[in-house]
Every structure is written in C-alpha cells, then in structure tokens.
Chain A
C-alpha cells in the first residue's frame, strides 16, 4: 500500500471506531422521542399574581418618579393589593393633572377619587386578562428556551386548562428528570444590588429604627453551611437579569470553584461602570430569586463583564448560567401533576415506520449493486459508512430520534446516493470518450467534485442559517441535515476514491472497470 493510502486507511478506521463507540450500545446512547418512547408529562400552574405584583410595584416606582418630575406634591403611594394602589395626600389643586397623567401614560389603570386628596388606581379587568395571557405566553417561551438549551429535543410545551392558566410540558425520556424539572421551575430572577451592612437578624441591622429610604432587607446564605445572614440593600438594582448579554459557567482562577461569567449589554455596562466607581470598596450583593447568594466587595471599576461567585457545584453553575441566558420567568410556577406518558405512536405504527425505512434502504443498496456491479460494492460500503457516521454523530450530539427523524436518516442515505451516481456516471462518460479506467476514475472524481461540493455546500449554508435563527425542532432538523451533508461528501468523495485506489492501486495495468 502506498504511504498516502495508508494514512487515508487510518483516518477511515479512526472514524469507524469513533462513530461505533459513540452510539454503542444503542439503547443507552440513542435517545428516542416522545412519539417512540414516551417521557414525562407535567402540568404546572403559573402564578400570574406574581406578574400582577410586579406591574403594580413598577407603577408605584414610576408614579413616585413622575410626580417628583412634575413637582406635584404627594404624601404616599402604597400598594394595597396586587393590581391596586392608593395615592394619598396629593396636592388637591392638581387632581385633574394627576388624572391626565394616568389616562395618557397608564391607560391600563382605572382611577377613582378617594376624597379630596386621595386616589385609588386599579388595573382594568380587560388588561388583567391580557396580562395573565401574556404571562403564560412569556413563561412558555422561557421554558422552551431552557428546555432547548438542556438539549431536550422535540418537547411538547403548550398552555393548558381553562383560560390557559396552566402549562403542559412533555419531555422525552430524559436521564435526569429532577434536573429538568428544577431548571424549568426556577424563576431565575437575578438582581445585583449595592449592599450596606449585614447582620444575623433583621433587628441587628435596623436597631429597631425604620429602614432608610430606598433600602430593603434581604436574607441569604452567603457561605457554605453558614448561618442565615441578613443584608441591608439598596432597593433599586444596578443590574438585573435583563441586562445580561450572555452568561456561561467556568472555574474561578483564584478559588478554583465553579462560577458564572457574564457580559452586559452596552447601556447596562455604562450604568455598571458608574455604579462600581461610586461604590468602590462596598459589597455588591448578588440576589437570585429574592435571596442573596453572595456579596463580594467591589475591588475595581467593572465595565461590561463580571463574575457571579457563590456556593456552586459544576452542574448548578452550568444550570444557573443556562437559566440566566434564557431569561427569568415572569411568574413563579407550581407543579400540579407529574405522570409518565407512553409513546404517542402505537407499537404497530413504530414497526411499520421502521420496516418501511429498512426496505427503502435495502432497495437502494441492492439497486446500486446490480446497476454498478463491482463499483456498486464501493458505493454500498460508502453508504453504509455514511449511515454509521450519521448515527454516531446523532448519538454524540445527543439528538433525540423521532419516527420522521428515522425516515429522514434513511432519506439522507437515499439522497446521498446522488454523489455516488454523479461520480460513477462521470467515470462512465470519460470511459466512453476513450479514456483508460485509471484516468477515467481520476477525471470522474475531479469533475464531479465541484458539482457535489456546490450542491452540498448550498444546503449546508441553508442549514447553518436554520440553526442560527430557528428554534427547537428546526434546529434539530438543521443539525441532522448538516451531519448528513458532511458525512455524505466525506464518504462519496474521500472513502469511495480510497476504495478505487486501494483495489486498483496494486495492479500495474487496469484493462476494464466493472461499473
């Protein structure tokens, strides 16, 4: 064997072994979708009241600012219940002005007068319904992003129940259901707040006096196994989860413990820079879902990137980064029901789908053998290797296989034949033009190469775009397609040429080619 054939043989062998290892044993390595194997069925209630609370709090903050800006004097603005607030002690002469501000700026709210200087604001019922629907829709999108990021393909996520206040989630047989449930459920509301003092109880912090304006007390467990600690924080966060551009987990260089690195969007970075400059030496509390997870001291001015340290394991850091990337849930969720579900396709449907795929594959292989004779053996080897690479890569990327997915794999093989046909027909053309087998093979591969390259690469470009901009099922499709195209080019051009060279290479003269 020539030297250059030897390294080609070695490369092919490595790929065969690698792909076999990737999917063996298949019943462990290959994940089957909801349609083939079933999974878990979860029903969650969306606590839409959380979202209502949030908009009410936001309105309180906004009104305080607007009234200050317009220099309208007022006593107090207080949330009496979610969706309802009371403004008291307003300058009696400017009541009309106040109504106009609400009607123009906050049309979702209904204003009622309470005596001369008081007003009650309540969210309109139509707006309440909209808000509830929006909350469920947003929660579904966030859950979908998280589930996608966990690599669970083909989930079912839909509103459930009367007026859609619940969410139905079905996940295919996932190794670690508890983890998936945890990732889905946690709100992941991140806030970075400037911290003042800390203490072991609320009383210790306040000393019995009322809180300074614009501050609050938040509990947390800052240290491993430590006691519950209370922190006095500025109420307005410097940075929230929405300001993050990206987040990823890593290892802290100094402590060697898992942490999360984040980058900020430009406008948030400017804000963060100013805040860290003003508060050098003070602690910055990292508040996650209403609890301080750590409060590192600000040691320098930070611009657009930062680090979240805390008591993490590698997995919990990874999961938190994932949740931060997918955004916070607009409201908390409660699991109401959890069941296993069987495959949505019956045994007969699965059997006939797989039989049909195998029959299709076998016929293609048989045809290639009959039509191209000995060269057909070459094509069959290339196609089987193509199948092996495809299955190995799917297992490696832990893609979830569904019935149309299996059909798609077979179809990729069917279409993969195209490259072989293009090459073989080109070789035949060259031989008809009077070339010897060896030069015909060389010319056939040479001329077919750019055809195959352009045809496959165009689809590859499309697949890359589908992956970049698509979600869930579309991305899954793009991955399968890309793997198919690449392994197709590799087997039809590289492997098939290798077989020709290896078989014909030893002979000094080749009289005829069985094609």
Chain B
C-alpha cells in the first residue's frame, strides 16, 4: 500500500516563497512580542505569590484550577498541602497581566476566587512571596548547554557530511525555534518548564528530519553525477517524501492527540510540539536545503553571479 506515488516536484523553485513566509511569521511574532513587552514567562521563571488556605470540606484540585482560570489567574500551581483531613491547599501564581501586575493583586484575586468556590468555605488563609524556581544561574546554564549542544551538532554533521550541511541543519533548527517562539507569542502562551522540554524535543526532531534528506543528497551525489546539485536536492526531497509524510504524519498524530485530549495542563507543551513538528519538517525542505545550494552557487559560480550583477547594473 502506498499513500502517494512518485513525485517530481521542483521544491527549490519555491524557495523564495518559503523564505518570505518564514520571514513574515518571524516579523509578525517579533512585533507581537514587542507590543506585549516580551515573551511571557511562567511562574517558575519569576517571582510570585503563594496563597495557603484551609477549606472546611475536601477541596478538589481540578475544580480550583478551573475556577482560578475563569477568574483570569493563569499558570498557577495548585497542590494539596499537609495531611488529607486538614483540607489545606496551596496555590502558587505569578504576576497577572490583567490586574496591574502587582503580586498583592494576584493574591487578592486568588483569595476572592477561593472564597467563592462552590460547596466549600475557607477556614483560614495566608499569603507569602516566593522567588523564581528557575533563577538566573539555572537559566544561564540551560542557555549555555543548548548553545554548546547546537555547536556539537554542527560539528558532527560537518564531520559526517560537509561543513555547509552542518550550517544548513543548524540554521534550520534556529529557524524552527524562532518561528515556534513567534507563534507562542501570537497565541499568548506562557513559557514554562514543560514548554522548554517541548522546545528541546523539537530541536531533536528537526535535525533528525533534515539529516534524512541530507543523507539522500549525499548518496545521490555519488549515483547521479551528471545532474546539478539543485536537481539532486530536488530528487532527494522527492525520494524521501513518502517517508517524510509518513513519519511527520504519525508524529503529528501523536502530538495532536496530546493537544486535543491531554487536558489544559499539557496544552502549551503539545502546542509547541504540534507547531514544531510541522515547522521542523518544513524547514528541512524550505531552509536547510536552499542554504546548501546557495553555498555551492557562491563558491562554484562567482563569475555567473558577477555577470548577473553586471546585467542588473546595466539595466539601471
């Protein structure tokens, strides 16, 4: 059984449309993030407030979560606290954009909401300030580790293929992260530790997908020596297209089921993965491959590009 037959699509012909599309999404995302004053980080990344409360009856964490979300409190961590029969709950939440961004305000909103939980009453309450779980040190380490990992990846691909393939794959990965971040901003999602895990996964997926195509290019360059690199890349993309559709389709199916059925808690995580799988697949064709081609054009045909430059000058 085959879903699609052999294809002969000239993918590289559309490269300017691809680049244009990616640029537009990036710019829109950047403008959106600038308008909102940067990306919004979850409770783990910033100072927040802890509200400790005691209910008269047994509290349900899911009910509290729903009520808080209805009251506009986003990204809170809700936990039963102390032994069961005490009916105590703690809520950790960050600054809320809705109410002037003051921590007291957030604590007040939480308290008011908890007072009005159906079928329950508050017996006791107190609030406290809590610092960021992910402090500056941890952020710095995570940032460095990711950068080093990207460099190591580039070097490995350069070693197994050629330097430019490493550059192509790495630029494609950066492209995927930037584009997904843009969408995270546009869709008003918070960056949480869960979301960071999703980003790391997406990097792995994106590289994997790019290498499958590069590997085919490497093989085809030995088999069909007479074709131009552009033809070989197109051929390779088409030859691996069936696999690309199957793998991405199946992975996408998994993350979409997480998104749809996984509940509100997993939604930002699965959103990044859904978007990431699509963009990661797209970038192998639309970003990584054209980079390899341009490099070749730059190195092999300086005379041709100079001639082109002359002709444009002449026209001016």
Residues of A within 8 A of B (CB): 34, 38, 41, 137, 140-141, 144, 156-162, 164, 168, 339-349, 352-353, 355-357, 359-361, 363-364, 367, 370-373, 403-404, 407-408, 410-411, 413-415, 417-418, 421-422, 425, 428-429, 447, 450-451, 454-459, 461-466, 468-474, 477, 481
Residues of B within 8 A of A (CB): 1-3, 50, 60-63, 65, 77-83, 90, 128-133, 135, 137-138, 141-142, 144-146, 148-150, 152-153, 156-157, 160, 169, 193-194, 196-198, 200-201, 203-205, 207-208, 211-212, 215-216, 219, 239, 242-243, 246-247, 250-251, 253-255, 257-258, 260-266, 269-270, 273
Which residue from chain B places its CB closest to the CB of A422 in the assembled complex?
B243
CB distance from B272 to the nearest CB of A (A): 11
Q: Provide the residues of chain A in CB contact with B263, threshold 8 Å.
A: 348-349, 352-353, 356
Q: Provide the residues of chain B in CB contact with A160, threshold 8 Å.
A: 50, 128-131
Give CA–CA (A373, B1) in the complex, Å.
9
Q: Provide the residues of chain B in CB contact with A415, threshold 8 Å.
A: 204-205, 208, 247, 251
Contact A356 B266 (CB under 8 A): yes
Q: Which of A347, A348, A353, A456 is in CB contact (< 8 Å) with B208? A: A456
Give CA–CA (A237, B250) in the complex, Å.
63
Taking A372-B1, A428-B2 as given, write out 19 further A-B residue pairs in contact, using a Cβ cutoff of 8 Å, ordered by the A residue number.
A41-B79, A41-B81, A137-B135, A156-B133, A341-B81, A344-B79, A346-B63, A359-B261, A414-B250, A414-B251, A421-B247, A421-B250, A425-B246, A451-B212, A455-B215, A458-B157, A462-B149, A471-B138, A477-B200
> What 10 A-B pairs have minimum CB-CB distances, sorted nearest first?
A342-B80, A159-B131, A346-B62, A352-B263, A346-B61, A360-B254, A356-B261, A414-B254, A469-B145, A356-B262
CB distance from B99 to the nearest CB of A (A): 21
Which residue from chain B places its CB closest to the CB of A462 in the assembled complex?
B149
Q: Provide the residues of chain B in CB contact with A463, threshold 8 Å.
A: 149, 204
Give CA–CA (A38, B247) in the complex, Å.
36
How many interface contacts (CB-CB < 8 Å) are there between A and B? 245
Contact A344 B78 (CB under 8 A): yes
Q: Which of B60, B145, B239, B273 has the most CB of A within 10 A?
A: B145
Q: Provide the residues of chain B in CB contact with A471, threshold 8 Å.
A: 138, 141-142
A–B pairs, 7, beta carbons within 8 Å: A41-B79, A141-B135, A342-B81, A352-B262, A357-B258, A454-B211, A481-B204
Q: Provide the residues of chain A in CB contact with B82, threshold 8 Å.
A: 339-340
Contact B254 A472 (CB under 8 A): no
Q: Provide the residues of chain B in CB contact with A367, threshold 8 Å.
A: 250, 253
Give CA–CA (A465, B146) in the complex, Å.
8
Contact A466 B1 (CB under 8 A): no
Q: Provide the residues of chain A in CB contact with B60, threshold 8 Å.
A: 346
Contact A462 B203 (CB under 8 A): yes
Contact A344 B77 (CB under 8 A): yes
CB distance from A251 to the nearest CB of B (A): 34
Contact B149 A466 (CB under 8 A): yes
Give CA–CA (A349, B81) in the complex, Å.
18
Q: Which of A347, A361, A454 is in CB contact (< 8 Å) with B254? A: A361
Q: A160-B50, A355-B261 are in contact. Are A404 and B266 (CB under 8 A)?
A: yes
Q: Which of A161, A345, A472 is in CB contact (< 8 Å) with B138? A: A472
Which residue from chain A places its CB closest to the CB of B219 in the assembled complex?
A447
Give CA–CA (A65, B157) in the complex, Å.
56
CB distance from A428 to the nearest CB of B (A): 8
Which residue from chain A places its CB closest to the CB of B132 in the assembled complex?
A158
Q: Which of B81, B200, B250 is in CB contact (< 8 Å) with A339? A: B81
Contact A454 B79 (CB under 8 A): no
Q: A414-B254, A477-B200 are in contact. Are A407 and B129 (CB under 8 A)?
A: no
Q: Provide the residues of chain A in CB contact with B197, threshold 8 Å.
A: 404, 408, 473, 477
Q: Which of B141, B142, B145 is in CB contact (< 8 Å) with A465? A: B145
Contact A161 B152 (CB under 8 A): no
Contact B270 A407 (CB under 8 A): yes
Q: A342-B81, A353-B263, A371-B1 are in contact. Are A458 and B61 (CB under 8 A)?
A: no
Contact A140 B135 (CB under 8 A): yes
Contact B207 A455 (CB under 8 A): yes
Which residue from chain A places its CB closest to the CB of B156 in the assembled complex?
A461
Q: Provide the residues of chain A in CB contact with B254, threshold 8 Å.
A: 360-361, 363-364, 410-411, 413-414
